[in-house]
A = this chain, B = another copy of it.
Amino acid sequence: MDHYQDWGHVLQLTIELIATAAFALSGVMEAARKRLDAVGVCVVGFLCAFGGGTLRDLLLDQRPFFWVKHVEVLWGVFALCLLTMLFLRPRHFSVTERAIQWPDALGLGLFTAVGVSQSLALGLPSIVAVLMGVITAVFGGVLRDMVCNEIPTAFNDHRPYAVCAFAGAWAYIALWSIDSPAWICMLVSLSFTVFLRTLALWFNWQLPPWRQN
């Protein structure tokens, strides 16, 4: 049993690092498109990587933040931003964007499940836990777009992103309410979110627009 827990822990950490890198990269490229300077690139990279979880912890009044407990990830994201500035050119952006879709989807699933699980551990009601899960996964990107002076793409590109996190979070709640072990809730919720996100990307699903008449 311990063996499985260790294995699960390493798996979670691996996904977390890969997803954080993917989130940071999405910020760095947005910053580059807006022609920000080195400072802006780093700040937007940090916001994308840690913004969602930090906002969740602020709202839940949890300290220390993830990046205070594990300062290595701060150094890692910092190094990533500098390396990207040195080696990534605008002509590599579209291929990079396609390449990070999958780690990004993994991150969407994982961060949602982590947010839900933390909120439930604090005894919060289900709907609040779901919102916290979605905030963890989605608000890094929202803050990125607010700083870059854009309407957040999560709110107006009509492609299901937050909605997948929302569904995955409810999957967590459903399993948790029938007393499933934590790792099952986590794994199923993560897989469900990633599955929905994959379908959405594959079939190019669209959220309904506001009907005009």
A37, A150, A154: which has the most chain B beta carbons within 10 Å? A37
Provide the A150-173 mask, 1 if CB < 8 A to any CB of B, else 0: 111011111001110000000000
Distance between Cα atoms of A1 and B96 in the complex (Å): 60
Q: Which residues of B contact A124 (CB under 8 A)?
A: 68
A40 engages B146 (CB within 8 Å): no
Q: A210 contacts which of B41, B125, B211 (Cβ < 8 Å)?
A: B41
Question: Complex: how many Å from CA A124 to CA B63?
Answer: 12
Closest to A43 in B: B155
Stretch from A8-16, A85-93, A99-107, A174-182 forming part of the interface with B: A85-93
Segment 162-213 of A: residues with Cβ below 8 Å from B:
162-163, 207-213
A89 to B213, CA, bound (A): 6
Is B156 touching A34 in the complex (CB atoms < 8 A)? yes
Nearest Cβ distance between residue A152 and chain B, in whole angstroms? 7
Separation in Å of the A166 CB from the closest CB of chain B? 8
**CB nearest to A148 among chain B residues:** B151
Judged by a CB distance under 8 angstroms, whether A127 is at the interface is yes
Q: Say whether A149 faces chain B, with CB atoms less than 8 Å apart.
A: yes
Q: A43-B162, A89-B213 are in contact. List 19 more A-B contacts (CB 8 A).
A: A37-B207, A38-B207, A40-B154, A40-B156, A43-B155, A59-B65, A61-B61, A67-B128, A68-B128, A71-B128, A90-B212, A90-B213, A91-B213, A146-B147, A147-B151, A147-B155, A148-B151, A149-B149, A149-B150
The 8 nearest A-B residue pairs measured at CB? A40-B155, A37-B207, A37-B158, A39-B162, A36-B156, A149-B151, A71-B125, A32-B210
